[in-house]
Amino acid sequence: MLLLGFSSGLPILLIFSTLSVWLFKAGIDRSTITLFSWVGFTYAFKYLWSPIVDNFKIPFFDKMGHRKGWLLFTQLMIIASLILTSLTDPAKSLLFITISITLLAIFSSTQDILIDAFRIESSPIYLQGPLSSMYIAGYRLAMLIGGAGSLWLASYLGSEIYNKNVWKTVYLIMALFMVVGVITTLVSKEPKINNKKNLKINEHAKFLFVFILSLAGFIFLYNFINNPFGENEIIKKFLFSIMRIFLCFTFFGIIIFLMMSTKYISKTIVKKIYLDPILNFLNRYGKFAFSILFLIALYRIADVVMGVMANIFYLEKGFNINQIATYSKFFGVFATIAGGFLGGFFCLKFGTMRSLFLGAFIASSSNLLFAWLAISEPSIKFLIGVITADNIASGFAGAAFVVYLSALTSLKFTATQYALFSSIMLFIPKLVAGYSGSWVDAIGYSNYFVVTALLGVPVLILIIWLSKVAPIRE
């Protein structure tokens, strides 16, 4: 799990944090850079293709085992996407880097689906705390490479003056580090649990075609509907975005419904793939199921919405790339690992719900330190203190949340249900985060960080209530 966590964590900052520095150096404006956080919707929408991961085999890879075959395929595709990204130049065109980063995010989120299923299927619930701590440790070590390592390398190669060859080299070297994941997958044992009955080849092909057609319809409609509101109408833009995404999901469903109506694909297959995992969860938790889903949707909102602006904030505050790499991406990673181990230990010692509450409290409260940093004079000591506290809080909350989601997941639908939970977890935070640049333009950094801290208050109330009416079966 340590090494698979490394494979999972390597692409994430190359999609978000490191990419934001690259775009900033290429002269892209702040609002456009933060919109790139919407690439993270691939992580929020991964439930759409998680049933494919659960039910279908990859040709030529399936001899390794169902989970291992998929893992190796996605890791090779991540390497290919990183190479493709290295060949782009955002200073000349954003189209090609948008395509390559989106592909990278799709394959990265698919790898996450598989590693989560691998972890849950490999050990009982009471060991998920220590396992998630090891996973987070590997994940954060990879973020050390993808964050601090990539920025150090860019600084060493001369990133202060924009040069596309600098970033090309950075992303090619990052692709080499994915070999860690490939080797780990090759030597790992396939989980013994196998409750899935793979569909026949013709059903496989038909469903994949319908899924790709529906996804293409989703993307087409999303791009066809333009947001009519201006930069200063933030609330209206946000509400319109929610409506647009809802319409796109409806269109996605209509295409599948039409294909079922024409009997091109079986209703039984669609029910088995998409509805059964949801119905299983609803039946197990009854009237509290939607409250649990609401908690999942909001738990990381304070952390995610604040984090998307962090690197830009550091740069505009006057800190250079070397300082960001050293204190945010290097020492910050070790602080997160420490927080992750603390979170896993607390779950094992004091229970999941108490740890979940403490994680939510410290994660949202740490945003107030950024508000203080925003109005303070630039100081390396202040920066180190704030980053350390924030990363310990983030690591703790992350470990507790992984244990909580693992406990909610049924072994009958491991990949699909966990992907559903983690998709819900990211959807609202990523949607809000896309407008972070506009929020900062309107209210300033200090007020922005205070608002992100307040976003965590409903989460605390919800945890207290659910711990009484729907506690986790430890």
According to the 3-state scheme, what is the secondary structure of 353-398? HHHHHHHHHHHHHCHHHHHHHHHCCCCHHHHHHHHHHHHHHHHHHH
Q: What's the CA gap between 10 and 146, in Å, rounded? A: 5
Residue 221 is predicted with a pLDDT of 82
Which CATH number does the domain housing residue 239 bear?
A: 1.20.1250.20
Q: Do residues 300 and 358 touch, judged by C-beta distance below 8 A?
A: no
**pTM of the predicted model as reported, rounded to 2 decimal places:** 0.70
Q: Do residues 201 and 20 touch, judged by C-beta distance below 8 A?
A: no
User: 172 in a domain, yes or no?
Assistant: yes
- Dump pLDDT digits (tens) for 164-209: 888 999 999 999 999 999 999 999 988 876 555 555 656 666 777 8
Q: What's the CA gap between 474 and 472, in Å, rounded? A: 6
Q: Do residues 410 and 394 touch, judged by C-beta distance below 8 A?
A: no
User: 276 in a domain, yes or no?
Assistant: yes
Number of domains in the chain: 1
Q: What's the CA gap between 255 and 47, in Å, rounded? A: 17
CA dihedral 36, 47, 208, 52 (to 10 degrees): 130
The radius of gyration computed from the CA coordinates of the chain, to the nearest angstrom, equals 21
CA dihedral 405, 406, 407, 411 (to 10 degrees): 130
- Phi, psi of 265, deg, nearest 5: -125, 155
Range of the domain at 459: 2-469
- Phi, psi of 290, deg, nearest 5: -70, -30
User: 325 in a domain, yes or no?
Assistant: yes
Q: What's the CA gap between 366 and 358, in Å, rounded? A: 12
Q: Do residues 57 and 66 touch, judged by C-beta distance below 8 A?
A: yes
User: 372 in a domain, yes or no?
Assistant: yes
Longest dimension (CA), the chain: 66
Residue 26 is predicted with a pLDDT of 85
| DSSP 8-class letter at 115 | H
Residue 25 is predicted with a pLDDT of 83
User: 474 in a domain, yes or no?
Assistant: no
User: 309 in a domain, yes or no?
Assistant: yes
- Dump pLDDT digits (tens) for 207-222: 778 877 887 787 778 7
Mean pLDDT of the chain: 83
User: 270 in a domain, yes or no?
Assistant: yes
- Dump pLDDT digits (tens) for 257-316: 888 888 887 787 777 777 888 888 888 888 888 999 899 988 988 888 887 777 778 888
User: 365 in a domain, yes or no?
Assistant: yes
**How large a percentage of the chain has pLDDT more than 70?**
92
- Dump pLDDT digits (tens) for 410-467: 877 777 787 778 778 877 787 777 777 778 878 888 898 999 899 899 999 999 999 8
Is the pLDDT at 323 greater than 70? The verdict is yes
| DSSP 8-class letter at 124 | -
